[in-house]
A and B are shown apart, each in its own frame.
Chain A
Amino acid sequence: MNAPRPSAVPILRLGDVLVTGLLNELDDTSALMFTDELTERIVADGARGVLIDVSRLDLIDSFVARTLTELATMARLLGARVIVAGMRPAVAITLVELGLQLRGVETALNAEQGMHALGWQQAPGSSRGDSYDALR
């Protein structure tokens, strides 16, 4: 299997949605590995949606923005919809001032709303501890 990526949380599968996230320590090498692994998983799991939780990022510079934009484009070409969820307000303000709007990347206020937008329903009878909360 793939080596663990120190800069990203694991990729979980919930139905036909993949759930993952980014951490601050994303260097170029890890970003490439992350993109490769995620696109492979989209195909292998037949995922129709991908939720990327960015709530732990205290900074999105043009490098991370490019990574997210490329991920969304590649996922779309593979038939999956990407939602970037949980961007911190200070990060969003700075991103706009950098002149980067993450064009083509769908966003959601938080992971829960992102999962809802991707049509993921909590299985009836399961406990309130939604699986994606484990990512935070």
Chain B
Amino acid sequence: MTLYDEGYARGAQQADGPLRPVGLDVAPGAATTHAVMSEQDLLTVRHAVRSATVEAGFALVDQTRIVTAASELARNAYVHGGGGSLTIEVLGHGARAGVRLIVRDNGPGIPDLEKALTDGWTTGAGLGHGLGGARRLMHEFDVDTVVGQGTTVTAIRWNNR
């Protein structure tokens, strides 16, 4: 597992916010990136995402939604994308807090995104509910995929809705 600061991934919400003391990897607005290269990594990233949702003040059901979405996206990067990374970022604070997940891989990409988002559609042995399900579990969901180059999924859930 790799764990490093990824300042460039910080969102606009943080850019003009007040300066915060530099802290550990749980500092508000800090992004942590985790490798998704093994079965063990799939378990590890779930713990990291859970911690971020707790830090952002999410209640239990929302925590579960976000960790489940992260688990689906990380598994896709591992299984379909041949491995990748998951970046976790806590956005804002208090009632306006949110969690952003960025899941990247350099795999084959998704030729037909509409189909891939359809429940029950799979090219593997899965249930085909991961991508569409993760989209339902999050408030903002964006897939950037290029065939032959890879896939980046960015998803946010806010705490105030």
Contacts and interface: CB of A to CB of B under 8 A. Distances in A.
A133 interface: no
B133 A98 contact: yes
A94 B137 contact: yes
B67 interface: yes
B61 A100 contact: no
B106 interface: no
Contact of B64 (A25, A63, A90, A100): A90
Contact of A94 (B43, B68, B130): B68
Contacts, number: 67
A28 interface: yes
Interface string A60-98: 111101100000000000000000000001110110011
B130 A62 contact: yes
Contacts of B42: 27
Contacts of A135: none
B40 A27 contact: yes
B133 A99 contact: yes
B60 interface: yes
B81 to A, nearest CB: 16
A98 B68 contact: yes
A98 B137 contact: yes
A59 B43 CA distance: 11
Contacts of A28: 39
Contacts of A90: 60-61, 63-64
Given A58-B67, A59-B67, A63-B75, 11 more contacts: A27-B40, A27-B43, A62-B72, A62-B130, A66-B127, A90-B60, A90-B61, A94-B65, A97-B136, A98-B137, A99-B129
